[in-house]
Amino acid sequence: MLQTLDIDAAVAGADVPVLLVSVAQLTGDLSVLRDDLRPDLSNLFDPNAGLSGEALAKGRAIAAEALRRHIEEGRDPAPAPEGETLYRMIAFLVGDEPAQSYLELLREELGQDGHDMRAPTWHASDIAPDRTFRVAVIGAGMSGIAVAHRLRQAGVEVTVLEKNADVGGTWFENTYPGCRVDVPSHLYSYSFAQTTRWPHVFSAQDSLLDYFRWCADTLGLREVIRFDTEVLSADFDDERRVWRISLSTGETIEADAVCSAVGQLNRPKFPDIKGRDRFNGTSFHSARWEHDVDLHGKRVGVIGTGASAAQFIPVVAEQASQLTVYQRTPPWLVPTPNYHETLPQGVEELLEVLPDYVRWDRLWLFWRTHEGLLPAAKVDPEWTQGPGSVSTANAFVREFLIQYLRAEFPEDELFEKVVPDYPPAAKRIVRDNGVWARTLRRDNVELVSDKIREITEHGVLTDDGVERSFDVIIYGTGFHASKFLMPMEVHGSGGVDIHEHWDGDARAYLGITVPGYPNLFLLYGPNTNIVINGSIIYFSECEAHYIVECVRMLLERGKQTLDVKREVHDAYNEKIDADNKMMAWGASTVNAWYKNEKGRVTQNWPYSLLEYWQWTREPNPDDYVLH
């Protein structure tokens, strides 16, 4: 394979800075990391990271030459870089001297030489050999797999309870056509389970489902997952200080701790529109796609233009005779030319010789998106040019995105309809490779922005008095995201129902612990969603780490439970609320699933990725009542 590799073709599709640093690692020769080839990441929207065409060509030539020599001379890979060498490589890739505070996080993300730096550094059998600590994990989706794996590495007894017939969570349930992730594959994957198998730059749903299945298999998790088993309720027994968990199978099991990994985006939300039950045709929600409904030649109405709808509408448009898209709020689109692309030609072969390319690419993506647009989402209190923007930086992004829309929609009538009047980052920005405009400009597609008055027996009636008839209505109307843990019943200390406790306004400390609910740990809990930076898998890994360290604290201190102090929880939430108000998503009044019915931002994390990592390094015993 190595002898036959066409090196020039292989490096042609690679990202040059990632390529150079991977070659430096393979050969041990850092001279390829030349100053004139160092990326400049100050312009987030520059796909070439400030490198001219000439510099890119030079970088590829240098990398190809070094690779060729390495292969021809039959050399072994250089030892994994450490210390100053590793620092120099990281500094080259991120185009800067990374602050010391970031360095450890970056090294973890990189997982140099396949070394899992986030693995627990302790084992239950060493700390408490006579004790079996049992954790029930609810959900075998992305975060359930992460926490179950970490707990098992630490020697904790784990049972995973999964309502579906397989792992994957949202990637198991959402099978609508066009479904894919909007974070690049090398980043939307576990740091501890990197793979060179991704076919696409941004993975499609089936690849992701395969990935999570592969993780469950290779991590040996299937033996502890109970499929087709829904948790109906979890009750804390104050006397014995354990959780009793009632299952859909009729059984009740016991655990010392419960991790809820049930996700936020899996309970389909139908809109509260008058007459919805009257429609005589077929209707379904995007997350419950009815694949046996043939849309070819049908008149189809779609309600919603969020991230899900933006993905399936282009596919439906190719099948339906007539497609009407009902848009309440237009999404911002970020140009992403390679959104549907397979990995660049040659890169797959390159990975055979340069497997560490994947890890360096992960680091590169992490850094490029790490705090990404976060500063541009911050509200400038002095800013007077709202409501379409919240600061100078935000207005700059707005202008960039408007220019893209203008180029994509030359017709004034459509352009007027698709330009958002709210600030970028107040809602999830949708990735686009031009397919949205191509779809909306089709002859068989109509974009309706008039308010829906009601759904009739035949179709949809809008406020302008026009009723359009359909064979099929598809709801791309999102999820009950802020109804955390629904419809499970969870009773904590004293039998208090968590939904009554929250009263529609879910809060948790670090998104993980809730006062009055000892040893209940949430993953992807309140205020742990990210809007414009990073990958949600990163958050789940941080949460899993924190939970594992909580168990360690209990075992080391010979305690049974921990319960977060109310004042700690409240002070934390006050800060989160105040800071979320100073972000585009908190300040804007636009509709978004980030706010609950009371108008509070229950979903989003208003700080950097680094801060979440720092705050979840280890539990502070003073934050908890240990029992």
Task: List residues near ligand NAP by CB under 6 A.
Answer: 181-182, 265, 271, 273, 303-309, 311, 326, 328-329, 428, 452, 476-479, 591, 593
Closest CA to 19 of 32, 5, 31: 32
Residues 215 and 142: their CA atoms lie apart, in Å, by: 10
The two tokens of residue 307 are 């991230």
The minimum distance between CB 440 and ligand NAP, in angstroms, equals 14
Residue with Cβ nearer ligand NAP (20 or 373): 373
Residue with Cβ nearer ligand NAP (265 or 551): 265
The minimum distance between CB 476 and ligand NAP, in angstroms, equals 6
The minimum distance between CB 431 and ligand NAP, in angstroms, equals 7
Instruction: Return all residues near 159 (Cβ < 8 A) that are at least 6 apart.
Output: 134, 135, 136, 137, 224, 226, 253, 255
Residue with Cβ nearer ligand NAP (151 or 426): 426
Is residue 107 within 8 A of residue 367, CB to CB? The reply is no
The minimum distance between CB 279 and ligand NAP, in angstroms, equals 14
The minimum distance between CB 364 and ligand NAP, in angstroms, equals 20
Residue with Cβ nearer ligand NAP (33 or 313): 313
Residues 396 and 43: their CA atoms lie apart, in Å, by: 11
Residue with Cβ nearer ligand NAP (204 or 258): 204
Residue with Cβ nearer ligand NAP (25 or 324): 324
Residue with Cβ nearer ligand NAP (180 or 362): 180
Residue nearest ligand NAP by beta-carbon distance: 306
Q: What angle do CA 407, 411, 415 make, to 5 degrees?
A: 70
What letters, b where the CB count within 10 A reaches 16 and e where it falls short, cover 364-395? bbbbbbbbbbbebbbbbeeeeebebbbbebbb
The minimum distance between CB 331 and ligand NAP, in angstroms, equals 7
The two tokens of residue 171 are 């990637």
Secondary element (H or E) of residue 447: strand 445-448
Residue with Cβ nearer ligand NAP (462 or 608): 462
Residue with Cβ nearer ligand NAP (11 or 587): 587
Is residue 562 within 8 A of residue 554, CB to CB? The reply is yes
The minimum distance between CB 559 and ligand NAP, in angstroms, equals 37
Residue with Cβ nearer ligand NAP (273 or 496): 273
What sections of 111-204 are H helices per DSSP?
124-127, 142-153, 170-173
How many other CB atoms sit within 10 Å of the CB of residue 522? 27
Is residue 261 within 8 A of residue 162, CB to CB? The reply is no
The minimum distance between CB 585 and ligand NAP, in angstroms, equals 11
User: What's 30's DSSP letter?
Assistant: G
**Is the N-terminal amide bond of 387 cis, ω within 30° of 0?**
yes
The minimum distance between CB 452 and ligand NAP, in angstroms, equals 5
The minimum distance between CB 449 and ligand NAP, in angstroms, equals 10
Closest CA to 70 of 15, 110, 11: 11
User: What's 563's DSSP letter?
Assistant: E
How many other CB atoms sit within 10 Å of the CB of residue 552? 22
